[in-house]
Chain A
Amino acid sequence: GAVVSQHPSWVICKSGTSVKIECRSLDFQATTMFWYRQFPKQSLMLMATSNEGSKATYEQGVEKDKFLINHASLTLSTLTVTSAHPEDSSFYICSASAGAIYEQYFGPGTRLTVT
């Protein structure tokens, strides 16, 4: 149990376009979903926290207008990278929690490359 999927697993897009990444909890209802970013050979950095039906809470330094997060249901959250640029290229990982913050189940990640 407690499986989280992400789609797509990798995506290449041109500079200036927008990309949407989906995060789904397959066998449980996630009241909270988290979006992380990971640069090569580095750790995970929390970008934002989203609760179903409410606005996401962004970490300091993360542009909310650039990284749009929607958590419309208890099983789906989306991250849209708007007007992507090469510096947005990264590994994006989501996680989902049904309750306790420390009980997060991580997705397999999405590798975004902006050319």
Chain B
Amino acid sequence: TQLLEQSPQFLSIQEGENLTVYCNSSSVFSSLQWYRQEPGEGPVLLVTVVTGGEVKKLKRLTFQFGDARKDSSLHITAAQPGDTGLYLCAGELTRFQKLVFGTGTRLLVSP
């Protein structure tokens, strides 16, 4: 069973639109990361959130960690073609000393 479910799985939008990607679980995580991955490359870390309810902003990207530390969201404002890629959330399971990756959201932003 997949511990972290992301939605939507695929999103195709026009440049300038806003979007939100969700990452949900029934498990509690010590921290949660968001990554972006481009084809043929490793994932690149965007942000780490560690406190329930925490909100972090990275230019046009806003990340929120749920109060119960079971879910997270990524909101992109005024999407650009350069935002195209696979977005992955990953939760830290401290007890098991590992990260669990979400199912992934593939974003395509067209000019």
Contact = CB atoms under 8 A, between A and B. Distances in A.
B82 to A, nearest CB: 19
A101 B101 contact: no
Residue with the highest number of chain B CB atoms closer than 10 Å, among A102, A104, A108 = A102
Contact of A102 (B31, B104, B106): B31
A91 B35 CA distance: 17
Contacts of B41: 108-109
Contacts of B80: none
A90 B33 CA distance: 24
B25 interface: no
Given A49-B97, A49-B98, A101 B92 contact: yes
Contact of B88 (A43, A101, A104): A43
Contacts of A42: 104
Nearest to A9: B40
Interface string B39-59: 011111100100000000000
Interface string A26-45: 00000010101000011111
Q: Number of contact residues on A: which range applies?
A: 20 to 34
A101 B97 CA distance: 6
A106 B51 CA distance: 24
Interface in A1-50: 4, 6, 32, 34, 36, 41-46, 49
A56 interface: no
Residue with the highest number of chain A CB atoms closer than 10 Å, among B33, B35, B43 = B43
Given A101-B92, A102-B33, A102-B92, A46 B98 contact: yes
A79 interface: no
A81 interface: no
For the complex of A and B, the 10 pairs showing the least CB-CB separation, nearest first, are: A106-B42, A102-B92, A43-B104, A44-B101, A102-B31, A43-B101, A108-B42, A109-B42, A93-B42, A106-B43
16 contacts: A4-B42, A6-B42, A34-B98, A41-B106, A44-B43, A44-B88, A44-B90, A49-B98, A91-B40, A102-B30, A102-B31, A102-B48, A102-B92, A106-B43, A108-B42, A111-B40
